[in-house]
Amino acid sequence: MSAAATISTETFLHTRRRLTVGVDLGQSKDPTSIAVIEKTSREVDVGAPLAYLPSLRATLRDDRPVYRLHALQQAPLGESYPAQAERLKRLLALRAIAEHDPDVWIDYTGVGRAVYDIFKQERVPNIQPVTITFGGQPGPNGHGGHSVPKLELVSRLQALMHSGRLLMSPNLLLAKAFRRELADFRVSYTAVGNATFGAREGAHDDLVLAVALAVYGLDSEQGIEVSPLRM
């Protein structure tokens, strides 16, 4: 047996950890919600020999990424957008988060466009605007941001929860509220057959959308390899 044949495929795999932040905007009626999520996945090294690629791909076929929800926050109702920007910057400055230099995926729908400008003026780093739509394909929209259907955002979360790949501590602040919001999310149809999406009447989906935006960001960006997050 050659020396090359005795080398484990594990030699050419590495673990990549990526962190991102999702922000669903609100102010007077709904609170602004912020989620911090880490994605852990195994990937093939760039320098892996071509002869090993079939075995490496087979190894990773059932090796699916895991998402860990590390933090959930909500700003008080009525908090000004400049104050929210400062809140977000304080979160991003925490050592456990700052070392990841995460992107901040922010809801750009409706009032989000004006808030995005405020956050930029207040120098919130790495902002990525996302327009939440009622249809179409997700991805870059050609205007310096992304567009993604709301149903796809939430369906992705529901799938991760169902498969056990979205992890969180039972002691995580607002974890129960997040689970309740996700359970309350509904898809309904108008008289002409158009789908509408959101929480049931009287409920909120702010935490769900913040987490969903973070997950979308993690699945959209390349990220950097860093040490595990500890908060």
Model confidence, pTM: 0.80
Q: Which residue has the tokens 């501590």?
A: 169
> How far is Cα 81 from Cα 75, in angstroms, rounded to an integer?
10
Domains and CATH numbers, the chain: 19-38+66-220 (3.30.420.240)
Provide the pLDDT confidence category of residue 6 given band limits of 50, 70 and 90: low
Q: Which residue has the tokens 């750009």?
A: 108
Tens digits of residue pLDDT in 49-72: 888 888 877 777 777 899 999 999
The average pLDDT across 43-52 equals 81
Angle value at C-alpha 136, between 134 and 137, nearest 5 degrees: 125
Tens digits of residue pLDDT in 120-172: 999 999 999 999 887 766 666 666 688 888 888 888 998 999 999 999 988 89
Pairing of strands 185-189, 195-199: antiparallel
Tens digits of residue pLDDT in 176-213: 999 998 888 765 444 444 445 554 444 578 999 999 99
> How far is Cα 226 from Cα 17, in angstroms, rounded to an integer?
6
Euclidean distance between the first and the last CA atom of the chain, given in angstroms as a whole number: 47
Whether the pLDDT of residue 2 is over 60: the answer is: no
Chain centre to alpha carbon of residue 221: 10
Element containing residue 82 per DSSP (H, E): helix 81-93
Burial class (CB in 10 A: 0-12, 13-18, 19+), 109: middle
Provide the pLDDT confidence category of residue 174 given band limits of 50, 70 and 90: very high
3-state secondary structure of 57: helix
